[in-house]
Structure 1
Amino acid sequence: MIVTDPAQPRARDVLWRFGPMVYGPTVLFALGEGAVIPLIPVIAAELGADLATAALVAAALVIGQLCGNIPGGWAVARIGERLTMTFAGILALGGVVALAFAPSLGVFALSIFLIGFCAAAFALARHSFMTTRVPYAFRARALSVLGGTWRLGMFIGPFVAAALLAIFGDEHAAIWFFGACIVATVLLVLLGPDPEKQVAPADPTMSEDTGEAVTGSIPTVERVGVFRTMWRYRRVLSTLGLAAASLAAVRSARQVVLPLWGVSIGLDAQTIALVVGVSGAIDFALFYASGQVMDRFGRLWAALPAMVLMGAGFLALSFTHDLAQSAMWFALFAAVLGVGNGLSSGILLTLGADAAPKADPAPFLGSWRTLTDGGGATAPLLVSAIAAASTLAVATGAMGVVAFLGAALFAVFVPRRSD
């Protein structure tokens, strides 16, 4: 259809070249973070947090990501992807050490915030690189693979955490595993081939005759700040960006709600980690299919089904808390949410790359990721507030409503292909 036969070998060649220098560090970082995320509410509860406070502590991760995008965009535009990732990795390692020795809930939450801050800079560096190096014809597949490498870490990480818990009986073993992953990431970034020198930028004119919808101002070589970029691209950020933020909110709620739900129905940490891991496995299995759908049929065909499915999963889960088989329903709807999230793999990266100026995408991507991470940061706060005022079941149902509203926004604002 959209992708011609000559483009297919080129897509495979580029994706294979990206393996060790782009996807490898992402897998390592995500593997360590994936081992820790399911245990954040558990450790917070051990430090004295109730369910609502544990949700607030878990929200520190996405709040840190939100705050890290603007400095991350500044750093990538000025010192490049490699140095940005190196500095972010070193700073994240300091956050992991603080996490392991946190004497109080406040220090624990600040350490989570710092790790999220560094993760934002790391992710923005890779997003900017892929935006400038990958042609439009197979951009969605390349970015879905990037999202898939993150999902691979999120899939394997909880199983690693469960194994470490079984061996050592201490949640801190997963934290030290995260530290080892960060050390390996920094070494790979520093000692491996520099992707900025290995892969030439894609021709900016390649997308002109592909039917790509033009949004915002005409790209130029002028370098502008993140805040000026926000104003220049205010129309696309306030429409398509709002839809993307709703998807980020639903994804973030999934990461917080599932561990909290397990705690609230009385499951132990190892069982919660296993259920979250199975959900991540389903999520991971669908990442490349999502890119194929987006490249061949358009971005909407990935975004809309994903939002509807996750909305249905949250709403259905909200009615199962007090049932006799609550653990079974928890596992079932965690799997449903994994399917929905997997169907949207790479969509936020792809939509951001589509709308970004070709010559200097980092400031726009900083703005885009600030908006989407704002949605991600809002969701755990919303879950915490509703759970404190009512129940976790009501908060879970509310996120289902958000997902359905987001589906409507995507249906209106995602640009259609004009092939």
Structure 2
Amino acid sequence: MTTSGPAVEFRIRSVAASALLPALLFAIGEGAIIPIIPAIASNLGATLAVAGFIAGMTMIGELIGDIPSGWVVSRIGERRSMIWAAGLSIVSVILSLVAPNALVFGVGIFLLGLSAAIFALARHAFMTTYVPVQFRARALSTLGGTFRAGWFIGPFLGAGLIALTGTSMSVFWVMGLCAVAIIVLLLVVDDPTEKLAAGKLAAGKLARADAGEPSHPAPTAGESELAEEAQGLFATIWSFRAVLTRLGLGVAIVSALRASRTVVLPLWAVSLGLPESNTALIIGLGAALDFALFYSSGQIMDRFGRLWSALPSMIGMGVCLVILSFTHDFAQAVGWFIVLTVLLGVSNGVSSGIVMTLGADLAPKSSPAPFLGAFRFTSDLGSAAAPVLISAIVVVAGLPVAVFAIGAIGFAGAGVMLRYVPRYVPRSPAHKSLGFKPGA
């Protein structure tokens, strides 16, 4: 990925070691752990409902982490934030490994979600800082692909470790080793943003000296974006309440459906009595198809429009979850579980990147960061709500009813998307990427 223009040249490999590889390692660690969380919680004495809630602590941690992460990254910088986030994930691993009960284990999983929120924003800001605007979409798409690749690799590594060691707790070693590797990598590899900032600083000083102005270091693009995003999250939500309560609701349901997969599938496996290693393999198979479709999803959105990515995905996931809810007591329940897990992966893969793409379409071009922060918070709110809702329904009516309810919500979300995507993101290229004014 290069350009030979007079002022700009960029190669994607220039951020491979400093952004893409750390992102891949973090995703591998998460991918190894998340499919096994309900099984470990059950082994520590948690009921099925509590195990589901603990599995959702990663999403709750990410939601809460969204609030201070912009402030943190804007204060200490992108690379340091990724290092500290990796360090926090090591703390979560240690706490989870020594947890004497489900409560302490849940705290460890919450810290993992918190570290993921900081790490995600830091790597996003890193790419914003370093990647030229004309290459940013492709670079961020590649970043999203590395995340899905990690979720594909992680479950298989976890399954192999469980088979090798005989203990499900061994999956945390994957996260621990990946976090250590991230820290070492970021400490050893040169930070390209430092050279970029130094060049901008020198040029800025020279220009201000020529103009007779005082010398002040200019913020990088990522620092400026983070500084904006860290201010007034709830004020921004209020300003854009119209689009966030309409199309934002649809995006929140998309995120809720995706989050429900990480809770429902491991819980279903526990209820069927599947060994942890088999659970990881089955979920990894679904993640493999999810990963394989991430580029095709972008092609669908660019060629046919955003709706033709979102609508089939939500209907597909809704159908799969509703069917799954009726199969628990079937003689071939495990076979149904495998098939529907794979189809859920395909359905989710069709909408890969839809949340980031809609956010970019809707964000005001003059100052996108505050809106993107509010949009991501709305999305993460759906992710965090899903495990809480699932656990509550499991307590009252059982797991199959909870799965059916989430599937039905998927159909409602498809209706929301059908109503509001054409309104806010028109199909015509002439109307794309215009952004929306507050209150629109």
Same fold (TM over 0.5): yes
Are the aligned partners of 2:56 and 2:384 in contact in 1 as well (CA < 8 Å)? yes
Match of residue 33 from structure 2: 36
Partner-residue secondary structure (3-state), 1:103: coil
1:226 to 213, 222, 233: 233
Q: Show the counterpart of 2:429.
A: 418
RMSD value, Cα: 2.7
Task: Give the distance between the partners of 1:164 and 1:286, measured in 2 at CA.
Answer: 27
What is the correspondence of 1:196-215 to structure 2 with a 5 Å cutoff? 196-197=193-194
Match in the other structure for 2:391: 384
Distance in 2 separating the partners of 1:131 and 1:304 = 30
In structure 2, the CA distance between the partners of 1:340 and 1:402, relative to structure 1 (3 Å rule), is same
State the alpha-carbon separation in 2 of the partners of residues 44 and 328 from structure 1: 25
Please, which runs of 5 or more residues in structure 2 have no aligned partner? 198-224, 431-440
CA distance in 2, matches of 1:195, 1:176: 30
1:227 match: secondary structure: helix
Find the aligned partners of 2:186 and 2:95 in 1 and give their Cα distance: 23
Which residue matches 1:207?
A: none
Cα deviations across residues 302-354 of structure 1 (Å, max 9, x unaligned)? 21211111111111111111110000000000000000111111121222233
Larger RCO: 1 or 2 (CA < 8 Å, sep 6+): 1
Q: Name the structure 1 match of 2:281.
A: 274
* Higher mean C-alpha deviation, range 367-376 or range 123-132: 123-132
Equivalent of 1:346 in 350, 353, 356: 353
Q: What is the CA-CA distance between 1:48 and the residue it aligns to?
A: 0.3
Q: Tell me: CA distance 1:263–1:168, structure 2 relative to 1, closer, same or farther (3 Å).
A: same
Which of 58, 64, 89 is equivalent to 2:86? 89
2: CA distance, partners of 1:140 / 1:344: 16
CA distance in 2, matches of 1:198, 1:24: 20
Is this contact kept in 2: 1:310–1:337, CA < 8 A? yes
Change over 3 Å in CA distance of 1:362–1:82 after alignment to 2: farther
Gaps of 5+ in 1: 1-5, 201-218
Query: 1:149 Cα deviation (Å)?
Result: 1.3
User: What is the aligned partner in structure 2 of residue 102 from structure 1?
Assistant: 99
Contact 1:142 1:291 in 2 (8 A): no
TM-fit CA distance, 1:244: 1.0
SS at match of 2:388: helix
**In the alignment, which residue of structure 2 is the partner of 1:204?**
none
Distance in 2 between the 1:390 and 1:107 partners? Answer: 27
Deviation larger for 370-379 or 136-145? 136-145
CA apart distance, 1:16: 4.4
Q: How does 1:18-57 map to 2 (within 5 A)?
A: 18-57=15-54
Kept in 2: contact 1:74–1:362 (CA 8 A): no
* 2:260 counterpart of 1:253: yes
The answer to whether the 8 A contact 1:352-1:368 is kept is yes
In terms of mean alpha carbon deviation, does 77-86 or 19-28 score higher?
A: 77-86
Which residue is equivalent to 1:369? 376
Q: CA deviation at 1:184?
A: 1.1
Q: Give the superposition deviation at 1:75.
A: 2.2
Aligned residues between the structures: 393
Shift of residue 387, structure 1, vs aligned partner: 1.4
What is the Cα deviation at residue 13 of structure 1?
6.1
Distance 1:105 1:323, change over 3 A: same
Matched with 1:187 is 184
How much has 1:15 moved relative to structure 2?
4.3
Out of 298, 304, 314, which is 2:305 matched to?
298
CA distance in 2, matches of 1:337, 1:151: 15
- SS of 2:274's equivalent in the other structure is coil
Which SS does the other structure have where 1:405 is aligned?
helix
Per-residue deviation, residues 354-382 of structure 1 (Å, max 9, x unmatched)? 33455665544332222111101111111
Query: Could you tell me how far apart the structure 1 residues matched to 2:122 and 2:168 are?
Result: 30
| Matched-pair identity in % | 50
AA aligned opposite 1:293: I
Amino acid in the other structure paired with 2:256: A
Indicate how the Cα distance of structure 1 residues 400 and 141 shifts in structure 2: closer, same or farther if over 3 A, else same: farther
Aligned counterparts of 1:14 and 1:235: Cα–Cα separation in 2:
39
SS of structure 2 residue aligned to 1:229: helix
Question: Is contact 2:10–2:131 with CA below 8 Å preserved after alignment?
Answer: no
- Within the candidate set 49, 54, 66, 1:69 is matched to 66
Tell me if the contact between 1:55 and 1:260 (Cα under 8 Å) persists in the aligned partners.
yes
| TM-score of the pair, normalised by structure 1 | 0.86
Q: Given that residues 141 and 288 in structure 1 are in contact (C-alpha distance below 8 angstroms), is that contact kept between their aligned partners in structure 2?
A: no
Query: Alpha carbons of 1:180 and 1:368: their partners in 2 closer, same or farther (altered >3 Å)?
Result: same
CA shift for structure 1 position 138: 7.1
More divergent stretch after superposition (297-306 vs 238-247):
297-306
Aligned partner letter, 2:72: A
Residues of 1 paired with 2:262 and 2:138: CA distance? Answer: 24
Instruction: Work out whether residues 140 and 295 of structure 1, in 8 Å CA contact, stay in contact via their aligned partners in 2.
Output: no
C-alpha contact 1:140 1:292 (8 A) present in aligned 2: no
Find the aligned partners of 1:195 and 1:244 in 2 and give their Cα distance. Answer: 34
Show the counterpart of 1:402.
409
Normalised by the length of structure 2, the TM-score is 0.82
* 1:254 counterpart letter in structure 2: R
CA–CA distance in structure 2, aligned partners of residues 112 and 361 of structure 1: 32
Q: Find the partner of 2:111 among 109, 114, 123.
A: 114
- Measured after TM superposition, the shift of residue 178 of structure 1 is 0.7
Kindly indicate whether the alpha-carbon contact (under 8 Å) linking 1:35 and 1:178 is maintained by their aligned counterparts in 2. yes
Q: Decide which of 145, 150, 154 is 2:151's aligned counterpart.
A: 154
- Rounded Cα–Cα distance in structure 1 between residues aligned with 2:301 and 2:310: 9
